[in-house]
Chain A
Amino acid sequence: MNPVEIAVWWPQIAATTLLGALLVLDDTAYAQTWLSQPVCGGVLAGLIWGHPGAGLALGLTVQLLSLGNLPVGQAFVGERVGPLLGAVGAAAASGWNPGLPFGGPGAEAGRLGWLLLAVALGSVLGDQLVRRERVWHTRLVAGAMRGLREGRLEVLERAHNASLAGVAVRGALTTLTVWLLVALLWIPAYSQLPERVVAALALLPWFAPAVAIGSLVELYGSRAGARWIAGGAAGTLAVAWTLAQLGAS
């Protein structure tokens, strides 16, 4: 992709960047509606680029990875929103349209695995950014408290609004940076990968539900919880078996 091709996509890039700012705000800073959850964020970014299916494929897989991450206190929060939106946009701009590996043909699973790897790396690296941003918030609060000594209440609002603006700017910049990196470097590099690596990448989307089940078993792993998990699994397998029998007859 060259600068001229990038320029063609500017309305979509601008819209995705704006969506990145809004959804990162929604993630923890404002309202927390859960529209920033990967499965929704992916679809929304996909709709901007005219490929909601590609957004769903990546969003659903990233959602599975993050199901067990608890957004409390100082726990790992990751920064999956910006990388996810950027990756969905870059994939759509590059003509990649990875389908869902579950229930569908999964022919594009290698590409989906490559994008998933980019989002996971982006999220782990972005977590450090979030931590630094929170330290910056501490400084803003300390500054506001100093201003308060002079009796100026507006310093509190200014510090709080600066924090919110900082979060939005982080979201926008992360989305834009990931879009550029994935579109210009990550996706072109895929064609250089050895066949064996591509085969390995095709397995990664299948690891996502396994990771989700592993972390959810941790969450609900009491004796009573295990019974409900086993019940849900047995019921699903029974329904699938019955449907297969009906289909065969």
Chain B
Amino acid sequence: MSARGGRPDDLHGIYRRSLGLQGSWNPERMQNLGLAVALLPWLRRSGAAPVELRRFCRRHLEFFNTNPYCANLLLGGLVRLEADNLRDGATPVRTLTMFKDSLGRALASLGDQFLWLGLQPALMLLAVLSAWPGLIWPPLLVVGLFAVTQLLLRRHALLVGYDLGLDIVDLLGSPLWHRAIWTAKRAGALLTGVLAGMTAVSSWSRLADPGGATTVLGTALALGAALVLRRRWPGEGLLLALVPLALLLSYL
């Protein structure tokens, strides 16, 4: 089971499966099956007795939810603690469960703040703005770079998680997390401003065209409506709600 540096060979298999953590996402227990399936390569080779195997699976089929990009830190730590537990009972089951639940929640919070509220809007804005003049390659380049980087980082996180075990908790106190969240959110805010500026310039430059004034007025009114309705509506819903406004403006 063991390989170089005391890490199990199964980490490669766990990594591949960890990418599908959300593959069986369900409203009741969220990523539970994804987690259990990701840990199976290690479990199969652990030599645990059938009763222990069932207990292990039941333990990890409880509710589980975390940020998928940060999950490998937790998965690595979990394999380490389960291995310690199986070997000499060093980690009580209660500690294991607490580790999984509390770290899962903490990583969900930090990961969601960084990824969904910071990095994703910022990077996608960068992709959109780079494609604004009609260029097709810059958005593919931006996203391709992110894709490769995150896959490598997720692999690295699994190894770090395994090496650290319970000490992963110390990582969460690092100021780097908050600095990264702050930077990603400010970058997103700055690029939102750039998008607003470019929209203003693009619509203003069409003012002299036939229907140009309607375009400027429509964009301004749509922005006002989006600001009022933004809390409840997804983008696609907002667009559908704005169709009557477009019809109204077509009479001008």
Binding site for B on A (CB under 8 A): 25, 28-35, 37, 39-40, 43-44, 46-47, 52-53, 55-56, 60, 63-74, 76, 78, 80, 99-100, 102-104, 106, 113, 116-117, 119-121, 123-124, 134-135, 137-138, 140-141, 144-145, 148-149, 151, 153, 156-157, 159-160, 163-164, 167, 196-197, 199-204, 206-220, 224-226, 228-237, 240
Interface SS of chain B: helix
Query: Which chain B residue shows the least CB distance to A165?
Result: B23
Q: How far is the CA of A140 from the CA of B13 in the complex (A)?
A: 23
Which of B24, B30, B147, B185 contacts A220 (CB under 8 A)? B185
B20 interface hit (Cβ, 8 Å): yes
B173 interface hit (Cβ, 8 Å): no
Residues of B with C-beta under 8 A to A197 = 247, 250
Q: Are the C-beta atoms of A213 and B198 separated by less than 8 Å?
A: no
Identify 13 new A-B residue pairs, CB closer than 8 A, beyond the known A63-B127, A72-B116, A207-B222: A29-B25, A32-B22, A43-B136, A56-B136, A60-B132, A120-B237, A120-B239, A134-B27, A157-B40, A160-B20, A163-B24, A204-B242, A233-B196
Q: Are the C-beta atoms of B28 and A156 separated by less than 8 Å?
A: no
Which of B33, B57, B188, B236 contacts A163 (CB under 8 A)? B33
Scan B42-62; emit 1 where CB is below 8 A from any A CB, else 0: 011000001001100110010
Residues of B with C-beta under 8 A to A65 = 235-236, 238-239
Q: Are the C-beta atoms of A236 and B198 separated by less than 8 Å?
A: yes
Q: How far is the CA of A78 from the CA of B231 in the complex (A)?
A: 16
A151 CB to nearest chain B CB (Å): 5
Q: Which one of B25, B147, B191 has the highest number of Cβ atoms from chain A below 10 Å of its Cβ?
A: B25
Q: Are the C-beta atoms of B235 and A66 separated by less than 8 Å?
A: yes
A189 CB to nearest chain B CB (Å): 15
Q: How far is the CA of A157 from the CA of B123 in the complex (A)?
A: 34
Q: Are the C-beta atoms of A215 and B235 separated by less than 8 Å?
A: yes
Q: Are the C-beta atoms of A67 and B239 separated by less than 8 Å?
A: no
Q: How far is the CA of A40 from the CA of B139 in the complex (A)?
A: 7
Which of A37, A53, A203 contacts B124 (CB under 8 A)? A37
Listed by A's residue number, 9 A-B pairs whose Cβ atoms lie within 8 Å are A29-B20, A33-B151, A117-B239, A200-B246, A203-B249, A214-B238, A225-B185, A232-B197, A236-B193
Q: Are the C-beta atoms of A99 and B240 separated by less than 8 Å?
A: no
B122 CB to nearest chain A CB (Å): 10
A231 CB to nearest chain B CB (Å): 6
Residues of B with C-beta under 8 A to A56 = 131, 134, 136, 139
Residues of B with C-beta under 8 A to A60 = 128, 131-132, 139
Query: Which chain B residue shows the least CB distance to A230?
Result: B193
Residues of B with C-beta under 8 A to A201 = 246
Which of A141, A164, A218 contacts B26 (CB under 8 A)? A141
B 131-184 contacts with A by CB, 8 A: 131-134, 136, 139-140, 143-144, 146-147, 150-151
